[in-house]
Amino acid sequence: MNQNRFLYTVKLIACLAVITIHAKFPDPLGDYVAALARFAVPFFFAVSGRYLLSGADTSGEIRSRASHSLKKTLKITVIVYLIYQLYSLIYHLIIGADLAELLAERFGLASIKRFVLFNTSMVIYDGSYVFDHMWYLFAFIYVLIFILVMTPVLRKIYKPLTVLLLLSLHILTCLQDYSLVRVWGLSLTTWYVLRSWLFTGIPYVLLGVLWGDIIDRIKKEKNSEESEKTFNRLKIIGICSLSLGIVSTCIETSFFGDKDIYFGSFFMVLGILLMSEALSGKGKTVWKVGKEASSNIYFYHVLILAIINFAADMGVLPDIPAALKTLTLMIVSVFIFYGLPHIYRSLIIKKS
């Protein structure tokens, strides 16, 4: 991210926030913290879009950027998916499950259809780890494929498409209790239909692309001093947007409970983007943790949680109270993915 320390710091915060969704604090605090944490995945999409096509104006440049990102994402996805499948196999062998029955359920027609359409189903999670956080990776792959397919017209359509899909997402989330429209037997207001590559992935990635274009235009049209003043003004708007998003999310939780409502999350993400350029050089240490560890924390915290829960079920570990489990998972994740590599590098440097 071109050493944008602010965005790396927010990535770390976002990854830790996701942990509070999968390992909740006790209610009622847990509901509010988990609701605030919903900004995380839309933010991941948006920050990916911020740098994805920055400065890429021709079809060749767009295709090259998207292809490079797609190859990188595919490699990461294969590794993450195989690690989880290995854990799943070990888990089910230990509990003596019927593997043939498990495979039939995981890769049955209904599960495959749901996975292909909405990046979720038993294809990417099961009883060994009960959260489908990998949907983000598969959704981002779909978004990149969409960009490659639409490359010739992308610059013409991406702004109205962003508005259309964001409006659709936020209107439909308010209609979750109603089955107004059904396609292939599924309601368009179902949570996993909305939280998919189409309604969440594409619009938030394109929102990031739009922000990248705005930054490029400001830097191109203004000198460094004028650009800095503009970004500082945008920072103030961003702080207001972030604050509005936090308040809105708390109000949404009061009215809708644990339903996924994204109005507050949108304003939080928008505020972070607007603040990001003015604060890009801020921070001394925390941003390094975000840069080096945030992705792995997101990818593997569910695995760590599953192992902790399984060990407790087997009597190997004591049951951990909810709040303590959340904090433990955060600390262990940061230590494994930042602390241990940092210690290892320090030892190597000393030996050399």
* Dist CA 121 CA 139 (whole Å): 13
pLDDT recorded at residue 347: 80
End-to-end Cα, the chain, rounded Å: 30
Residue 308 within a domain: no
* Alpha helix ranges (H) inside 23-56: 29-36, 40-52
Domain presence at residue 16? no
The structure's pTM equals: 0.95
Domain that holds residue 146: 41-285
Q: Which residue, 1, 15, 81, 5, is CA-closest to 43?
A: 15
Tell whether 317 is covered by a domain.
Answer: no
Helical axes 29-36 vs 5-22, angle rounded to 10°: 140
What is the number of structural domains in the chain? 1
Quick one: CA dihedral 54, 80, 291, 136, positive or negative? Answer: positive
Q: Which residues pair with 186 in a beta bridge?
A: 183
Indicate whether 248 belongs to any domain: yes
Domain membership flag for residue 186: yes
Q: What residues have CB less than 8 Å from 253, skipping those under 6 apart?
A: 31, 32, 35
How confident is the model at residue 118, as a pLDDT?
A: 93
> How many CA within 13 A on the CB side of residue 63?
8
Helix (H, G, I), strand (E, B) or coil at 182: strand
The verdict on residue 130 lying in a domain is yes
Would 113 be classed as within a structural domain? yes
Distance CA 280, CA 42 (A): 20
> What pLDDT, on the 0 to 100 scale, is given for residue 180?
58
Q: Left (φ > 0), alpha (ψ -120 to 50) or beta: where does 315 sit? A: left
Which residues are CB-contacts of 229 (< 8 A; sequence separation ≥ 6)?
none
User: Is residue 17, in this structure, part of any structural domain at all?
Assistant: no
Parts of the chain with a pLDDT under 70 = 1-2, 177-186, 188-189, 350-352
